[in-house]
Amino acid sequence: MVGKTDGKARAKAKTRSSRAGLQFPVAGNAARDNKKTRIIPRHLQLAVRNDEDLNKLLGGVTIAQDGVLPNTQAYLRASKTKTASRK
Q: In terms of Cα–Cα distance, which of 76, 65, 71 is closest to 42?
A: 65
What sign does the dihedral 29-30-34-36 (CA atoms) show? negative
Whether residue 12 lies inside any domain: the answer is no
- Domain enclosing residue 47, as ranges: 27-57
Gyration radius of the chain over CA positions: 21
Is the whole-model pTM more than 0.85?
A: no
pLDDT given at position 56? 92
Count of structural domains, the chain: 1
Whether residue 45 lies inside any domain: the answer is yes
Whether residue 34 lies inside any domain: the answer is yes
Rounded mean pLDDT for each run of 10 residues along the chain, 87 residues in total: 68 74 75 86 87 88 84 83 59
Whether residue 50 lies inside any domain: the answer is yes
